[in-house]
């Protein structure tokens, strides 16, 4: 796999691994040793960028994913880049499978979060530290000031904003340069393309999460696919309903047709489309299966011309498709408790 540069100088593999699903949101957590083997197999395939967060876990073990990623990458730590995130917690009072998010970017909370993440990851620095969601009660300049301090202290090397908008990005970037945003982006969720001119102007990279619309664009799910209603977010996502299967038929056929022309798979086409669009886009598809990791890594070898990307964009502008999961609901509840574990 080749490399890409986020921001001005942060070199990563052109495709990263989203590690959340090993511990959170996609069914029962993977057994630890099996998960460690899978993450290491990704490293052996050429992945160097691994994405986690302090809140990826279970109700019994809320921070499980960071511990898992730290264990899996311990003996190759200097050869990989680890992403983690701060600034949200889940509303555990909710009965929803996809519990609402409570943003909290107060300075003391950030400080507690970074120390907790460093301990759980078993490392002395986080390569790229994202504000997980914008906190409307804390100005971007304040958050950026804390990030500048953490960079000076060597606790983080780079920082970014997840689900960033242009105004927040510009204000934060003026205080402490932002290396990347991490936003939802796929053929079914293109709203953040409006941010691309600002990213190019500021030299900020784009880490694309859910790059296959939570797996739908891999073309392996049908109208009869079932997901655990207590543990799997997909059980509540509109693109996985029986009605959506018919609504997305033309979209998936488009992917299958182009995949056949390119000797690729639909998943690879959906990733190659964004890789070939901009040199500073890095998708982080999540999977727990080494065979899927290998398939996704192969997208880096699929070449789409400028004309082919433009033709896909035109098709996506007009082709029918279902609604797609747009993110967890954000609420706001003041909480005096710092996350120290």
| Enzyme catalytic residues | 56
State residue 219 phi and psi, 5-degree precision: 75, 25
Pairing of strands 88-90, 101-103: antiparallel
- Report d(CA 269, CA 256) in Å as an integer: 9
Tell me which residue of 133, 164, 159, 165 sits closest to 146, measured CA to CA: 159
Helix, strand, coil proportions of the chain in percent (round to 5)? 45, 15, 40
Q: Enumerate the H helices of the chain as residue ranges.
A: 32-45, 64-73, 107-121, 140-152, 166-175, 196-202, 242-247, 249-262, 266-275, 290-297, 306-318
DSSP for 102-171, please give it. Answer: EE---HHHHHHHHHHHHHHHT-S-EEEEEESS--TTS-HHHHHHHHHHHHHTTSEEEEEEET--HHHHHH
- Enter the DSSP assignment of 235: G
Beta pairing class for 180-184 and 126-131: unpaired
C-alpha 310/C-alpha 300 separation (Å) is 18
17: three-class secondary structure by DSSP = strand
What is the rounded distance in angstroms from the CA atom of residue 245 to the CA atom of residue 236? 15
Helices 107-121 and 64-73, packing angle to 10 deg? 40
């Amino acid at each position: 796999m080749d490399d890409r540069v986020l921001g001005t100088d942060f070199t990563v593999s052109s495709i990263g691994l989203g590690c959340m699903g090993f511990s959170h949101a996609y069914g029962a957590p993977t057994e630890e040793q099996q998960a460690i083997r899978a993450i290491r197999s990704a490293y052996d395939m050429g992945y160097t960028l691994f994405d986690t967060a302090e809140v990826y876990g279970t109700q019994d073990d809320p921070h499980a994913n960071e511990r898992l990623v730290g264990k899996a990458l311990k003996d190759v730590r200097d050869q990989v880049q680890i992403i983690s995130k701060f600034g949200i917690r889940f509303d555990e009072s909710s009965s929803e499978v996809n519990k609402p998010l409570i943003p909290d970017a107060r300075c003391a909370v950030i400080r507690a979060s970074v120390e907790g993440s460093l301990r759980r990851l078993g490392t002395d620095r986080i390569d790229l530290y994202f504000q997980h969601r914008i906190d409307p009660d804390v100005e971007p300049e304040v958050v950026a000031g804390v990030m500048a301090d953490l960079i000076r202290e060597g606790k983080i090397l780079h920082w970014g904003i997840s689900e960033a908008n242009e105004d927040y990005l510009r204000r934060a970037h003026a205080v402490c340069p932002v290396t990347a945003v991490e936003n939802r982006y796929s053929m079914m969720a293109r709203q953040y393309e409006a941010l691309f001119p600002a990213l190019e102007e500021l030299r900020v990279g784009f880490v694309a999460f859910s790059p296959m619309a939570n797996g739908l664009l891999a073309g392996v799910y049908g109208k009869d696919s079932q997901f655990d209603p207590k543990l799997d977010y997909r059980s509540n996502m509109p693109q996985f309903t029986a009605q959506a299967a018919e609504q997305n038929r033309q979209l998936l056929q488009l992917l299958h047709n182009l995949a056949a022309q390119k000797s690729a798979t639909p998943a690879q086409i959906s990733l190659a489309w964004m890789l070939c669009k901009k040199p500073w886009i890095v998708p982080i598809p999540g999977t727990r299966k080494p065979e899927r990791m290998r398939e996704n890594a192969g997208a880096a070898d699929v070449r789409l011309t400028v004309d082919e990307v433009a033709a896909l964009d035109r098709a996506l502008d007009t082709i029918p498709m279902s609604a797609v999961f747009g993110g967890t609901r954000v609420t706001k509840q003041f909480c005096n408790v710092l996350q120290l574990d």
